[in-house]
Amino acid sequence: MVKKSRGKNISIKDIAQLCNVSVPTVSRVINQSGRYSEETERRVRKVIEETGYQPSVFARGLRTNCANNIGIIVPDITNEFFSSITLAIQNVLFEKSYTTMICNTNEQPTVQAKQLEMLKSSRVAGIIFISGEAITDEDLTDGIPKVFVDRLPWNAASKDVVTVEADNYTGGKIAANTLLESGCKHIVALFEARGLSTQIARYSGFIRAHQDYGLDVVKELYQPVAQVSFQEGYETICKLIKSKVPFDGICCYTDSLACGALSALAEAGISVPDQVQVTGFDDISMAKWAVPPVTTIAQPVKEMGRLAAELIFKMSKGEDIEQKQYTLPVELIKRKSTK
Amino acid sequence: MVKKSRGKNISIKDIAQLCNVSVPTVSRVINQSGRYSEETERRVRKVIEETGYQPSVFARGLRTNCANNIGIIVPDITNEFFSSITLAIQNVLFEKSYTTMICNTNEQPTVQAKQLEMLKSSRVAGIIFISGEAITDEDLTDGIPKVFVDRLPWNAASKDVVTVEADNYTGGKIAANTLLESGCKHIVALFEARGLSTQIARYSGFIRAHQDYGLDVVKELYQPVAQVSFQEGYETICKLIKSKVPFDGICCYTDSLACGALSALAEAGISVPDQVQVTGFDDISMAKWAVPPVTTIAQPVKEMGRLAAELIFKMSKGEDIEQKQYTLPVELIKRKSTK
């Protein structure tokens, strides 16, 4: 009889009755919170197994007001860099039996605000922002644990927030250095225009590398794009070629911009790396599989995701976080778009 | 006083008390289920606004046993085709104030089984499978509404399931036709090996196009790959080039395989499209931005996502679905990898 219903309409009370123990005892066994004998545990687990009883996440959420559910806010899930971090986070939380709610903002602050509200009303145990640059000060103080990965909120350093980022400054410096070392003198900086924390850090590294070489950065070669996409990379370089400003290198803020740039160069019959050398940033698949493959700065995506997940897990349990700000090392991946 | 606490610890009882109405009345206003005066509605909404009260999704979930939460099971969220469908689904459900839980299976049936269990114990109102080929018959009969997008469960047609797919047969036929029309006679079929519904349909179309041309499919040119990735596309074509089997076209199961193939051809100094022509499938960004850009079959990703979301929404409300199986048209996108 019991077996037939397989979990449907079976309550924790039924389990307690069938095991001849109290409801709190069943609850303690389910949550592995101790204070029961081995014999009791075996009996309860057996009945749960036989009946197919599934403890409701909702019931658990109401009781503990902590649903083992983490919200992840992502600007663009179709961007491989972001989806890879998301995946790494989800893999770690999955192992800990935490569920995740992934929200895509389309890089729109208004959508982000709405989703944030939704996550709050779902009483998530924590929120990981992948690129939470549009967060407000009010959002930071609502009591929900938060971890910021990649792009940081404005003035994050002074705001006692938990952050995980790659060493973007060193990344920008290494990328520019690679171009300078192999002879480039007129390097386009194909960056984004919004002044994100990652953009500022990478561009600072770009400038520093020029200083170390005793070279000035050329103003006309600073090319900010409104959106980070293949299309923008392509269009910007097409225009630059038409304008006849000479350049022999392109240092790109992302691999997507670099691949768009490659496309524009190929169309104009400009050979890479002989006439123009190109670097990207992120090491998405496309960098590896482009023709020619793109020299890029790899971010430790898995490690960033793992660390963010471990941090939010601890914070959701009310544990203290000793170190709050993490900057992880980047790595140069040399390929054929540079000499 | 009330304003200060902004939603914290404010319960539906507090709202009822402040409005001088009963708790069920507040609940009816929140859920817009009628049986209250305009005056009452205005009063309740005003107090909710002022207090910043947020109805708990958990409490709602327990009461109605339907959490306005949809699970989305995806094989690989870093694959742009899958993440684009996911995004389209989430955008539609977001408009309807539904939340989504996106679970990534890494194409592993054991992980899928675990996540399915997790979604069930979260009492989701429905599940959308993007490529649910590993689903069991038992899973199909657990009473939770399900919609399958893209790859279908085995024998889906005979199983009374709700499915949304692109016209993969026609897609495979058009792709092969494009190659045949521009003179290819020895076309490699770079397909996957697991016998997914999409693979079988596209390959059937490929064969049909050959028949229409009075040409036989060459057995040695059927190249099944264990995994759909750039790497596999690259390695398979490298091996084929070494084996000296002649070929003048490559019809790929996905754009990722096509881009891997392009990379192998470039390395071997084989010119595209002059010596070998290449087609892909899906129309991910990389197809557009590859050098040369890849001729491909575009799937109506947004439409597939929208339709799946509308269907699961209706099903979650207990509404009947008249038409259960949808096959949406595909489109040839001609680019420079074919003549």
Chain position carrying tokens 């037939």:
A4
Q: Does A99 touch chain B (CB under 8 A)?
A: yes
In chain A, which among 37-76 make CB contacts under 8 A with chain B? Answer: 54-59, 61-62, 67
- Share in percent of chain B as helix, strand, coil (round to 5): 45, 15, 35
ipTM over 0.85: no
Q: A44-53, B39-48, B222-231: which has the highest mean pLDDT?
A: B222-231
Identity at B152, one-letter amino acid code: L
pLDDT at site B8 = 53
Consecutive H or E run containing A14: helix A12-19
What whole-number distance in Å separates Cα of residue B304 and Cα of residue B328?
A: 8
User: Is residue A142 predicted with pLDDT exceeding 90?
Assistant: no
3-state secondary structure A162-204: EEEEECHHHHHHHHHHHHHHCCCCCEEEEEECCCCHHHHHHHH
pLDDT at site B179 = 98
In chain B, which among 71-90 make CB contacts under 8 A with chain A? Answer: 77-78, 80, 83-84, 86-87, 90
What whole-number distance in Å separates Cα of residue A77 and Cα of residue B234?
A: 26
Mean local confidence (pLDDT), A196-219: 93
CB contact under 8 A, B123 and A87: no
**Torsions phi, psi for B128 (to 5 deg):** -105, 125
Q: Which of B57, B117, B263 sits opposite A122 (nearest CB)?
A: B57
Q: Does A334 touch chain B (CB under 8 A)?
A: no
Whole-number mean pLDDT of chain B? Answer: 88
In chain B, whose CA is at the least distance from the CA of A9? Answer: B65
pLDDT at site B58 = 46
- Listed residue (B106, B2, B85) closest to B48, CA to CA: B2
- Listed residue (B44, B54, B52) closest to B5, CA to CA: B52
State the Cα angle at A238 between A235 and A242, rounded to 5°.
140
In chain B, whose CA is at the least distance from the CA of A336? Answer: B267
As beta bridge partners, residue A298 has: A282, A331
- Listed residue (B259, B75, B339, B304) closest to B168, CA to CA: B304
Q: Which of B94, B103, B123 sits opposite A57 (nearest CB)?
A: B123
- At A74, list the tokens: 């992502």
User: Is residue A59 predicted with pLDDT exceeding 70?
Assistant: no
Q: Are B236 and B223 in contact (CB under 8 A)?
A: yes
Is residue B255 packed enough to be buried (19+ CB in 10 Å), middle (13-18) or exposed (0-12)?
A: buried
CB contact under 8 A, A101 and B104: no
- Listed residue (B101, B100, B102, B107) closest to B76, CA to CA: B107
Tell me which of A11-20, B142-151, B311-320 is least confident. A11-20
What whole-number distance in Å separates Cα of residue A116 and Cα of residue A101?
A: 11
- At B81, list the tokens: 């085709």
What whole-number distance in Å separates Cα of residue B207 and Cα of residue A333?
A: 41
User: Is residue B5 predicted with pLDDT exceeding 80?
Assistant: no
Does B30 or A283 have the greater pLDDT score?
A283
Mean local confidence (pLDDT), A279-287: 95
Q: Are A226 and A161 in contact (CB under 8 A)?
A: no
In chain B, which among 223-252 make CB contacts under 8 A with chain A? Answer: 230, 234
Contacts of A286 (CB under 8 A, 6+ apart): A80, A255, A256, A259, A294, B259, B285, B286, B289
pLDDT at site B293 = 96
Q: Which of A55, A58, A78 sits opposite B62 (nearest CB)?
A: A58
In chain A, whose CA is at the least distance from the CA of B115? Answer: A94
pLDDT tens by residue, A95-138? 888 888 888 888 888 888 888 888 887 778 999 999 877 787 77
CB contact under 8 A, A101 and B97: no
Does B142 or B308 have the greater pLDDT score?
B308
Q: Does A122 touch chain B (CB under 8 A)?
A: yes
pLDDT at site B263 = 95
pLDDT at site A3 = 42
Percentage, residues of chain A above pLDDT 70: 92
Q: Which of B77, B230, B288 sits opposite A87 (nearest CB)?
A: B77
What whole-number distance in Å separates Cα of residue A110 and Cα of residue A14?
A: 46
pLDDT at site A5 = 43
As beta bridge partners, residue A69 has: A99
What 8-state DSSP symbol labels residue B211? H
Q: Which of B57, B91, B263 sits opposite A123 (nearest CB)?
A: B57
Does B138 or B179 have the greater pLDDT score?
B179
CB contact under 8 A, B114 and A94: yes
pLDDT at site A67 = 61
CB contact under 8 A, B58 and A62: yes
Is residue B305 packed enough to be buried (19+ CB in 10 Å), middle (13-18) or exposed (0-12)?
A: buried
Chain position carrying tokens 């521009």:
B182
Tell me which of A31-45, A279-293, B178-192 is least confident. A31-45
Mean local confidence (pLDDT), A40-63: 70
- Listed residue (A261, A287, A289, A286) closest to A276, CA to CA: A261
Q: Does B33 touch chain A (CB under 8 A)?
A: no
